[in-house]
Structure 1
């Protein structure tokens, strides 16, 4: 079962918006936003696109589907940009990323 409503509510709250604020941003009524969030109604494709646009995510992210569904547009854009780098630059970038990830995991493991 899709939990689109939960995702919409989470994204709206992350922006600090009321249901009315979101409704204005996408040209809908506050009532329909409430129905989306309670999973009483599912957004049309057009509304899902508007929601994705105002939140800066993909439609897949809103729907919770697809291999990139958990990434926002900014993360996806960076991944796409990395794919276009020459192999040596990509390798160097991955070494830097790996170092940061290793250090973050170590801090989590040792509670610091």
Structure 2
């Protein structure tokens, strides 16, 4: 997926106008429209601001990964990283249990 389509899709999913997104990242709605139509390409700095404004990683925005790492998920990962090894193991056990549960649902 190209970055322009990704920006447009994410912006629409979030219910944000081009003008609102432009204001948040320090540009205009018209420029956001040009990014979306692939007329111009945002700088890395602006692309990073757009990603943050839309709540995704820069890698996800530019299509380097299809894994959407939202700010919410990244904050939780950071919190787990600060835990003791014992607490991390407990969190991993809980996550593994939910993964197994969801896999079983898929078999039914």
Q: Structure 2-normalised TM-score?
A: 0.79
Equivalent in the alignment of 2:46 = 47
Q: Is the 8 A contact 1:7 1:62 kept in 2?
A: yes
CA displacement at 1:98 relative to structure 2: 1.0
Q: Is the 8 A contact 1:52 1:62 kept in 2?
A: yes
> What is the root-mean-square deviation in Å for CA atoms of aligned residues?
2.3
- Tell me the alpha carbon deviations over residues 19-66 of structure 1, each in whole angstroms, 9 at most, x when there is no partner: 233223323222221221122211112321321231223323322337
Between the aligned partners of 1:15 and 1:3, the Cα distance in structure 2 is 18
Structure 1 counterpart of 2:104, from 100, 103, 106: 106
Q: Is the 8 A contact 1:61 1:72 kept in 2?
A: no
Q: Which moved more, 1:39-48 or 1:94-103?
A: 39-48
Q: Is the 8 A contact 1:26 1:51 kept in 2?
A: yes
Equivalent in the alignment of 2:60 = 61
Q: Which runs of 5+ in 1 are unaligned?
A: none
Q: Is the 8 A contact 1:62 1:69 kept in 2?
A: no
Q: Structure 1-normalised TM-score?
A: 0.77
Equivalent in the alignment of 1:80 = 78
Between the aligned partners of 1:23 and 1:63, the Cα distance in structure 2 is 18
Between the aligned partners of 1:19 and 1:12, the Cα distance in structure 2 is 8
Between the aligned partners of 1:58 and 1:39, the Cα distance in structure 2 is 20
CA displacement at 1:14 relative to structure 2: 1.5
